[in-house]
Structure 1
Amino acid sequence: MSEKAWRKRVLGSLAVAAVGSLALAGCSSSGSSDSGDSSSSAVIRTNGSEPQNPLIPTNTNETGGGKILDSIFAGLVYYDADGDPVNDVADSITVDDAQHLTVKIKEGQYFTDGEEVTADNFINAWNYGALASNEQLSSYFFEDIEGFSYDEDSELTGLEQVDDYTFTIALNKPAADFALRLGYSAFYPLPDAAFDDMDAFGENPIGNGPYMLDGDGAWQHDVQIDLVANPDYTGGRTPVNGGLDIIFYATQEAAYADLLGGNVDVIDGIPDSALATYESDLGERAVNQPAAIFQSFTTPERLPHFSGEEGELRRAAISMSINREEITDTVFQGTRTPAKDFTSPVIAGWSDSLEGSEVLDYNPDEAVKLWAEADAIAPWDGSFQIAYNSDGGHQAWVDAVSNSIKNTLGIDASGAPYVDFASFRDAITTGEITTAFRTGWQADYPGLYNFLGPLYATNAGSNDGDYSNAEFDALLAEGISSDDIEVQNEDFQSAQEILLKDLPATPLWYSNVNGGYGEAVDNVQFGWNSVPLYYAITKSE
């Protein structure tokens, strides 16, 4: 965002609405560009969610933690509002050939404890994130670097320091978009202090970005985290405000009420109950723009009745029993678009005419037929449930999808709520969850591969359903090895045709970001991945 990278982030709260453009939307919704009586010390208040884990860059793959990490760390590059990479700590990134890159970083960049950022800070951080024994959620992002192993601890031998400010990257196979990935949070540097006690560091991280934690106690768990501008940051995201308070709202309704009441400055999610009215409520301060966000739910093969041929039939039947058009019109007031694939229309190479995409169409007769074929293999018993986090604004659509399945197939179907996003994600990542569960993706960087590799490749860090298909993996590998973008996209589209048959996740719809901001702020701009550019927001006292 992202996403969450930008941000492939597993979505914690609901960002909504329809995607209508095939071009990468660049996108601003802003007030007057005249800062007027704005104050450089004013603190911007926004919504967020309690991070799933301590704030370690390589172990954060969800939006709550990602929003914070992107504010307190600076990577080699960052992404502007349009999704274009801009050098941050990097002075230059040279692609020597399809498997070799040379990175030179700027001198005089510092962590907030005074340590200068050098090549070693990147090399050490990436090696930590890649070690199998560290079990980092984003270790997948290092698999293309020489020396990476999923099975045992091994050094990333493809990383070599040339001097204090230069290092090289050798890949074990061509990866045409590797340089573009380097703005994602998994690639952030870490100070030496992090390795003294990584758990303690995660609770009080030391970054090098535009903001830093506002002293001890800045992170009040399940309440909020308070950030202040980092005076030593000199990159392109230098804040024009004094800080950022990220409030962990229990519901989107509460965040929206605070926006209307002037108690929060900008929010990036609108509750279902306000979708029909928020644009008239907020006027020009309402935000509704395309973003690289995809919504689905995942039904793991390990669940009873969902493996083998029976599982393939049941997944297709369930998908065809969902009336996506009706749900997006009634629940979301037309602020979403039914999905035709597993990516996003704002990404180059997107297609709405993939072979097998009819499985995403509402077809109750075919759904009933396929369900009966599955029953002939093994009669259905029990109920079908979709788990979700109650603090993310998901109940209405989960209930609507469940009712559509129940009414079409004549089975018991319902939502299975978890109290908050952290407990929901814990149940998924530990494999303890015993139902289907909602999934979503906010892109890390603007490429089709980012929607496919991290979620569905064998052993990928965000492959929550533990899906594995050798043919799919081979097509991904072929695509990412090509430096011809058209060839890449053809391979990725072919890979998606396998997904449409296997349905490791059930695509639902594409989302816009729906949000808004208060009367005290100006220069509000939402990026292509749905996250506001907080550093650019001005605020009057």
Structure 2
Amino acid sequence: MRLSRTSKALGMFAVASIALTACGTSSTPGADSSAAGDKSKVIIADGSEPQNPLMPANTNEVGGGKVIDMIFAGLVSYDANGKPVNELAESIEGKDGQHFTIKIKKDQKFTNGEAITAKSFVDSWNFGAAAKNAQLSASFFESIKGYDEASAEGSKVETMSGLKVVDDQTFTVELTQPESDWPLRLGYTAFVPVPAEALKDPKTYGEKPVGNGPYKLADGGWQHNVQIQLVPNPDYNGPRKAQNAGVTFKIYQSDDSAYQDLLADNLDVLQTIPTSALKNFKTDLPDRFIEKPYAGNQTIAIPEYLPEWSGEAGKLRRQAISMAINRDEITKVIFNGARQPAKDFTAPVLDGYSDSIPGSDNLKFNAEKAKELWAKADAISKWDANKTFTIAYNADKGGHKTWVEAVVNQVKSTLGIKIEGKPYATFKELRADATAKTMTGGLRAGWQADYPSLYNFLGPIYQTGAGSNDANYANPTFDKAISDGLTSATVADGNNAMNKAQEILLNDLPAVPLWYQVAQGGWSNKVSHVDYGWDGVPLYYAITGK
């Protein structure tokens, strides 16, 4: 990404210094397109059923997100270390952090032959933002002038005034205020262009999406709840050129089944080792595993639309739940020390992270304080002793049952309330209820970064009305704090502002932070050049056969 900017817009979240340490024997090719290996092999990887048809601006979960990342190319993509690299962008220039001129490369096309122009981007972004289209990632466009008018409930406005087409290769963007991290966001999938047919009939299009990335959907490629087959896009000429003959995401109903397939060489890449195998996977896969921290965390979101979790009493109860959880014990016993107890809402690999933000004591195990807080809540609004507090989790991916049961036992032992895990058969089903705001208790949540910044762990999840705001949290003071932070003059000032905003979250606890994530995955004897990116996702395009 080429940026020409004044000192005020040096990039508060200019590419984070992400510290990634690998174990095992990942071949670590990153995006080395010259790497040797069998490029005729189709890579079999584990996946999960996407929540929705595959429209980029309407996908905010990992099952669909992995596929969209591979079949679309945006203005920029991120390399293995989280650094933005031009993909469709010829240049992105701005003088004041508020006004940008974006030039795209010539002769770019979708796989249906339609030309990709400046209008493609402007139309796609306007579609993503407009209220009538109800896209889950609409809030990613909130910085653009005119978003408020286009996104207002019931609005008939379908375009943002801050977007202007100059010519086929050029468009301009005006933000409502200077925001130094805005260009860094442009690698997120909400900002990719989609063809005209997608805007006319997004539901039908989303079943057989046409993109422009390193891969494309194979004919009949999405077999719901079975697999998603991708084949290389021969016309793609960006930095993520496929080094294999395709990637097939096999949809498993449990990670344990996927692990057994991996051991039998029937699965080539398993993104996450199941909890049940954490003690043995390094022995099972002596030179075929990876373990390194990434920009991700695990939380329990507790919706404030539930009466017992709203207001002052709800806040006290959330604090009590948090202090009733012994994170040190769970991360040591269940995760073999491969997780780090959370001390904030972001991740240690990000620039600006702090483990000593005021309010972080609410994330420390303190049984007596937890009981005291629960009693204070009861004094305001008595908890129904016959009510069972549930923590929902998906049973198909992630091995969540084990740690959820541990949390349940700890909270029950400390607070003496009825509490239990609530399994959903699939991640898709859990996300459907979370999105519809029909949860009856808490839910396992968390975040895998879209781009490397502290703000990405705060705004899209906890701002009022944000698409991933599972807790239905709304605090104008927090909203203003992070908005003001985006205008900071320096990197240090910006990070300090985001951490000041976190003080509000650590008091309100719309979600209960648990631990920071670590990429622990493995691969078969049939593949090589396996590495994971800064966001914990395998670099599928770089994997080859042996």
Specify the TM-score bucket, using the shorter chain as the normaliser. over 0.9
Pairs within 5 Å for 1:33-44: 38-44=37-43
Aligned match of 2:304: 301
Aligned match of 2:179: 175
Identity between Structure 1 and Structure 2 (%): 52
The 2-side partners of 1:489 and 1:515 are apart by 31
| Residues 485, 498 of structure 2: 8 Å contact kept | yes
Q: Cα deviations across residues 441-484 of structure 1 (Å, max 9, x unaligned)?
A: 00011110000000111111111111111111111011111231
The 2-side partners of 1:196 and 1:450 are apart by 30
Change (3 A) 1:385 1:108: same
* Partner of residue 188 from structure 2, selected from 184, 195, 201: 184
The 2-side partners of 1:514 and 1:265 are apart by 15
Secondary structure, counterpart of 1:473 in structure 2: helix
Which one-letter code corresponds to 1:170 in the other structure? E
Aligned match of 1:162: 166
1:385 to 2:403 alignment = no
Change (3 A) 1:363 1:26: closer
Pairs within 5 Å for 1:440-479: 440-479=446-485
Q: CA deviation at 1:207?
A: 0.3
Q: Cα deviations across residues 125-161 of structure 1 (Å, max 9, x unaligned)?
A: 1011011011100000111111112312421111111
| Residues 54, 209 of structure 2: 8 Å contact kept | yes
| Residues 303, 439 of structure 2: 8 Å contact kept | no
Aligned match of 1:206: 210
1:24 to 2:30 alignment = no
Aligned match of 1:117: 116
Q: CA deviation at 1:196?
A: 3.2
Q: TM-score, normalised by structure 1?
A: 0.94
Secondary structure, counterpart of 1:190 in structure 2: coil
| Residues 20, 294 of structure 2: 8 Å contact kept | no
The 2-side partners of 1:257 and 1:401 are apart by 27
Q: TM-score, normalised by structure 2?
A: 0.93
| Residues 386, 416 of structure 1: 8 Å contact kept | yes
Q: Flag structure 1 segments of 5+ consecutive residues without an equivalent.
A: 1-21
Q: CA deviation at 1:372?
A: 1.3
Aligned match of 2:439: 433
Higher mean alpha-carbon deviation, 91-100 vs 119-128, is at 91-100
| Residues 265, 521 of structure 1: 8 Å contact kept | yes
Q: Flag structure 2 segments of 5+ consecutive residues without an equivalent.
A: 1-15
The 2-side partners of 1:401 and 1:346 are apart by 25
* Partner of residue 492 from structure 1, selected from 482, 490, 498: 498
The 2-side partners of 1:302 and 1:88 are apart by 41
The 2-side partners of 1:520 and 1:156 are apart by 49
1:223 to 2:220 alignment = no
Q: CA deviation at 1:489?
A: 1.1
Aligned match of 2:324: 321
Secondary structure, counterpart of 2:307 in structure 1: coil
The 1-side partners of 2:498 and 2:47 are apart by 33
Q: CA deviation at 1:26?
A: 4.3
Pairs within 5 Å for 1:388-399: 388-392=393-397, 393-399=399-405
The 2-side partners of 1:205 and 1:172 are apart by 32
The 1-side partners of 2:17 and 2:494 are apart by 18
The 2-side partners of 1:325 and 1:251 are apart by 27
Secondary structure, counterpart of 2:414 in structure 1: helix
| Residues 93, 100 of structure 2: 8 Å contact kept | yes
Aligned match of 1:107: 106
Higher relative contact order (CA 8 A, sep 6+): 1
Which one-letter code corresponds to 1:355 in the other structure? P
Change (3 A) 1:478 1:36: closer
Which one-letter code corresponds to 2:64 in the other structure? G
Q: Cα deviations across residues 463-522 of structure 1 (Å, max 9, x unaligned)?
A: 111111111111101111123111111111111111111100000000101101111111
| Residues 295, 509 of structure 1: 8 Å contact kept | yes
Secondary structure, counterpart of 2:265 in structure 1: coil
Aligned match of 2:5: none
Question: How many residues are aligned here?
Answer: 518
Pairs within 5 Å for 1:308-457: 308-381=311-384, 382-392=387-397, 393-457=399-463
| Residues 75, 182 of structure 1: 8 Å contact kept | yes
| Residues 95, 179 of structure 1: 8 Å contact kept | no
Higher mean alpha-carbon deviation, 171-180 vs 225-234, is at 171-180
The 2-side partners of 1:36 and 1:194 are apart by 36
The 2-side partners of 1:192 and 1:368 are apart by 57
| Residues 26, 289 of structure 2: 8 Å contact kept | no
| Residues 49, 427 of structure 2: 8 Å contact kept | yes
Q: CA deviation at 1:27?
A: 5.8
The 1-side partners of 2:235 and 2:245 are apart by 13
Aligned match of 2:52: 53
The 1-side partners of 2:55 and 2:479 are apart by 28
Aligned match of 2:244: 241
Change (3 A) 1:102 1:36: closer
The 2-side partners of 1:77 and 1:266 are apart by 26
The 2-side partners of 1:346 and 1:517 are apart by 24
The 2-side partners of 1:131 and 1:507 are apart by 32
* Partner of residue 527 from structure 2, selected from 513, 521, 524: 521
